[in-house]
Amino acid sequence: MSLSFVCLGLDHRHIYGMAENMIRIGARPLGYWTEGDPETLAGFAKRFPDMPRIAHLEDALALGADLALVSAIPADRAALSITAMQAGHDVMTDKPGCTTLDQLDEIKACVATTGRIWSINFSERFEVPCVTLADALVAAGEIGSVVHTTGLGPHRLNRATRPDWFFERERYGGILTDIASHQIDQFLHFTGSTSAEIAMSHVANHANPDDPGLQDLGEIALRSDHASGYIRVDWYTPDALPNWGDGRLTLLGTKGFIELRKYVDLATGAGTDTLILSNGTRAEAIDARDAGLPYFERLADDITHRTETAMTQAHCFEVMRLALIAQEMAER
């Protein structure tokens, strides 16, 4: 593959998976730039020892990469993405892709004028093999029409490793903008909805009173013209759980249901990527670890052919619009 990429900003660990998956499909890393020395830097250098650090952003942009991977502080991602697109790069950014509606408008304008691709790596869909299998089962009609989704996104706080910006509302964007964008993406995708409205949203800080900028619980109820959904996200993963969170997604169809136990399944001890399917002829748990991660290859193909097979641009914009509206509603 002739596709090349550059990493811009290493402030969130999601940059590890973004880079690893692009290298896995044959893309060539040209280098990385990041502001200062974020906590993630040592882990990045260990994983990618041959990727050179570029001292200045302008020099990183001048390397001529096809794609920029952006994982800076959330509030800085929009400006960095716009700078990369104006320099001729397509962009894969970590979620959230932006933290205000004004930033989203600026990104839309930049995409319109440059013709670049702005894609958000919703890792809770794109880096989870059981979601790939769920895609195939829904497309095959195994549970009929999906009319409701329940998305749960619990996370471990890991306070000792969190940088200062993690506790600053204006820097991370709020819990619904940040985490719940994953579940909004999954709602729109699996219900086949092009748009939706926020029926209810709520944020709170129940367990971290010394960090008033942190929101540790968030909820959303949303609906489209043919489906509805509920989302709960939090920072309450207990220490004894063997991973960072028991993330789950339930798809309710008119002929059955699918439950995805993405990261852990304490009931069976099966590990990651357990898919539970029940319909008129089947009721079983399926090991979906080998279902694949097609987003990265599809994005590479989209960059080459200027198509929208990985995710449509309209979908990407709509996910962030809904997340930002939900955040504003909750805080009002």
If asked whether residues 79 and 131 sit together in one domain, one would say no
Find tokens 């550059």 and name the residue: 6
Strands (E), 95-213: 118-121, 146-154, 197-204
Q: How far is CA 163 from CA 76, 132, 290, in A?
A: 15, 33, 34
pLDDT in tens, 111-154: 999 999 999 999 999 999 999 999 999 999 999 999 999 999 99
How many C-alpha atoms does 117 have within 13 Å on its Cβ side? 25
Domain match, 66 and 151 both: no
Q: Which of 106, 121, 136 is the last residue of a domain?
A: 121
Find out whether 275 and 133 touch, Cβ atoms under 8 Å.
Answer: yes
Task: Please write the tens of the pLDDT for every residue from 109-121.
Answer: 999 999 999 999 9
Among 99, 121, 143, which residue terminates a domain?
A: 121
Q: What is the pLDDT of residues 1-54, one digit of tens each?
A: 689 999 999 999 999 999 999 999 999 999 999 999 999 999 999 999 999 999
Quick one: 159 and 270 in the same domain?
A: yes
Separation of alpha carbons 188 and 199, rounded Å:
15
107 has pLDDT over 80: yes
Q: 270: pLDDT confidence band, cut at 50, 70 and 90?
A: confident
pLDDT computed for residue 261 by the predictor: 98
What domain range includes position 243?
125-287
Tell me: do 160 and 266 sit in the same domain.
Answer: yes
Residue 54 forms part of a structural domain: yes
Same domain, 114 and 236: no
pLDDT (0 to 100) of residue 1: 64
Residue 29: closest CA among 14, 7, 54, 11: 7
CA–CA gap between residue 150 and residue 94 (Å, rounded):
23
Higher pLDDT, 269 or 238: 238
Average pLDDT over residues 286-300: 98
Q: Rounded distance, CA 108 to CA 82, Å? A: 10
> CA-to-CA distance for 323 and 304, rounded, in angstroms?
30
Q: What is the mean pLDDT of the chain?
A: 97
Domain contains 198: yes
Domain shared by 102 and 225, yes or no = no
Tokens for 271?
Answer: 């590990």
- Number of domains within the chain: 2
Within-domain flag for 321: no
Q: Domain containing 150 — which CATH number?
A: 3.30.360.10
Return the pLDDT at 269.
83
**Count of CB atoms within 10 A of residue 215's CB?**
28
Cβ contact 23:45 at 8 Å: no
Whether 20 and 138 map to the same domain: the answer is no
Is the same domain home to 196 and 183? yes
Q: What is the CATH number of the domain that holds 21?
A: 3.40.50.720
**Which of 93, 121, 149 delimits the end of a domain?**
121
- Say if residue 220 is in the same domain as residue 162: yes
| pLDDT reported for residue 222 | 98
Q: Which residue has the higher pLDDT, 186 or 271?
A: 186
What gap in Å lies between CA 307 and CA 286, rounded to an integer? Answer: 32
Tell whether 222 is covered by a domain: yes
Q: H or E stretch including 303?
A: helix 295-305
Instruction: Answer whether residue 175 shows pLDDT above 70.
Output: yes
Q: Is residue 311 part of a domain?
A: no
Tokens matching residue 115: 């013709």
pTM, entire model = 0.98
Partnered with residue 285 across adjacent β-strands are: 276
Q: Is the pLDDT of residue 181 over 90?
A: yes
Q: Are 155 and 64 members of one domain?
A: no
Amino acid letter, 198: I
315 within domain boundaries: no
3-state helix, strand, coil in the chain (%, to 5): 35, 25, 40
Looking at the domain assignment, is residue 86 inside a domain? yes
DSSP code for 272: S
**Is residue 104 located within the same domain as residue 166?**
no
In a domain, 140, yes or no: yes
Residues 108 and 141 in one domain: no
Q: How many CB atoms lie within 10 A of CB 256?
A: 19
Residue 154's DSSP bridge partners are: 234
